[in-house]
């Protein structure tokens, strides 16, 4: 009898430990810092592969700089870790997706117009990211990396029939051997610079994120939507099921908040809006000139725009903490920074869409934070910008008309 009681106690204790362990792991659905600690948010800059660098990680195209909610006052920190390693910031942040013991019980969605091991998608959103949520918290990771992150073992795959290539997006649509069920970083993503923004948030903001993703027309390649959490996050579920905005307006600006209450401003547009996100939406709404760093190697590149609020294309980047300089042609990042220091206008925006007329036909967006220390580090990295186009000289007839106007 004593043995039976002992075995029952051991069995009960084991179950309690398992439940508590799973609960602890599931409750850590937050962005991660360099030491795998929970952080409220982080920004990360994966540096391009630069063969002339003395740093072997930079030379191999796997180095990254970061700032997070704990370290931003120090400015950029060059990580000693390799972005492909299982101990990197992206790997630790994405770890819940590849933990088969808990991933099946969580709500999550992965989206990328250049998904791993699938053809690139021409229609709908020019968007890349993941959202994951438990009962009370989760995070949103926005990035610019094609073929990333890998598919987990759990969840359901989502395929679309469109197999056209992106409009000259990059040479990076070449990684078709991405492993499944584990964290990995694509070899194609090492060549150019890449951008990341992660926001830890709570249940009140997850449906807000879902609304923006509906405008962005995300292309989902894998998702896991448990019934209990799908009911809780009904708008995010619609986004995961690729429901689109069908009535005007076709653009949306909304504020969302991190776990600690820090405010972020999200801008989103659908393909039906047919305008440039930065010039026609972000700059006027923030009431500031912008320097923008987006992929300018494809066709349809938009020139710097100086007729209203100025939106100037960045041509060269200098990141002193890593002792590197590179041309924007080596950078696949999507970010913008307010051009002038103004009171309460220290904006940095990180997103997933480019300044090109081909992007008028695509959904996409950007998320902005207003933190002076973060702004200074992005602003100081702007080495050169494309000048405003020269105004066209008036012809004789136009000059005559001007005399009478």
Known catalytic residues are 332
Nearest partner of 240 among 115, 94, 108, 143, judged by Cα = 108
Handedness of CA 63, 143, 69, 223 (dihedral sign): negative
CB 41 within 8 A of CB 284: no
DSSP summary character for residue 405: -
Instruction: Spell 29-57 as b/e; 16+ CB within 10 A means b.
Output: bbbbbbeeebbbbbbbbbbbbbeebeeeb
- The string of DSSP codes covering 244-310 is ---SS--EEEEEEE-TT--EEEEEEE-TTT-S-HIIIIIHHHHTS-EEEE---SSTTBPPPB-SSS-
DSSP summary character for residue 123: S
Nearest partner of 334 among 317, 320, 360, 353, judged by Cα = 353
Give me the phi and psi of 384, to 5 degrees please.
-155, 145
Strand boundaries in 86-213, DSSP class E: 107-112, 128-133, 137-143, 156-157, 194-202
Instruction: Spell 334-343 as b/e; 16+ CB within 10 A means b.
Output: bbbbbbeeee
> In which region does residue 274 sit, left (phi positive, over 0), alpha (psi from -120 to 50) or beta (all else)?
left
Nearest partner of 133 among 35, 236, 238, 255, judged by Cα = 236
Q: Please confirm whether the linkage preceding 246 is cis (ω < 30° from 0).
A: no
CA distance 258 to 74: 21
CA distance 255 to 76: 26
Cβ neighbors of 262 (< 8 A, separation 6 or more) are 40, 41, 69, 369
């Amino acid at each position: 009898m004593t043995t039976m009681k002992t075995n029952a106690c051991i069995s009960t204790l084991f179950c309690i430990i398992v439940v508590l362990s799973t609960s602890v792991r599931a409750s850590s659905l937050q962005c991660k810092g360099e030491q795998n600690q929970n952080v409220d948010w982080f920004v990360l800059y994966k540096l391009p592969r630069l063969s002339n660098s003395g740093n072997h990680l930079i030379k191999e195209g796997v180095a990254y700089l970061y700032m997070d909610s704990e370290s931003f006052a120090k400015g950029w920190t060059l990580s000693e870790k390799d972005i492909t390693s299982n101990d990197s910031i992206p790997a630790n942040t994405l770890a819940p997706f590849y933990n088969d013991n808990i991933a099946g019980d969580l709500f999550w969605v992965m989206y990328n117009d250049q998904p791993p091991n699938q053809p690139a998608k021409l229609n709908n959103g020019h968007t890349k990211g993941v959202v994951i949520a438990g009962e009370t918290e989760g995070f949103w990771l926005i990035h610019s990396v094609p073929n990333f992150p890998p598919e987990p073992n759990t969840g359901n795959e989502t395929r679309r029939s469109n197999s056209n290539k992106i409009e000259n997006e990059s040479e990076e649509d070449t990684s078709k051997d991405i492993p499944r069920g584990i964290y990995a970083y694509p070899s194609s993503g090492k060549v150019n610079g890449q951008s990341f923004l992660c926001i830890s948030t709570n249940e009140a903001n997850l449906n807000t994120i879902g609304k923006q993703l509906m405008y962005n027309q995300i292309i989902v390649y894998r998702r896991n939507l448990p019934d209990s959490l799908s009911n809780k996050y009904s708008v995010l579920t619609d986004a995961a099921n690729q429901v689109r905005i069908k009535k005007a307006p076709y653009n949306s600006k909304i504020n969302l908040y991190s776990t600690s209450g820090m405010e972020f401003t999200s801008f989103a547009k659908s393909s039906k809006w047919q305008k440039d996100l930065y010039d026609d939406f972000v700059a006027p709404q923030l009431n500031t000139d912008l320097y923008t760093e987006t992929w300018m190697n494809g066709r349809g590149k938009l020139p710097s725009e100086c007729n209203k609020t100025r939106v100037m294309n960045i041509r060269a980047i200098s990141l002193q903490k890593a002792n590197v300089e590179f041309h924007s042609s080596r950078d696949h990042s999507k970010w913008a920074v307010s051009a002038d220091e103004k009171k309460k206008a220290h904006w940095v925006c990180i997103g997933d869409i480019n300044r090109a007329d081909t992007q008028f036909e695509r959904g996409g967006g950007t998320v902005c934070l207003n933190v002076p220390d973060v702004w200074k580090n992005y602003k100081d990295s702007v080495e050169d910008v494309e000048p405003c186009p020269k105004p066209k000289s008036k012809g004789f007839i136009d000059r005559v008309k001007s005399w009478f106007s």
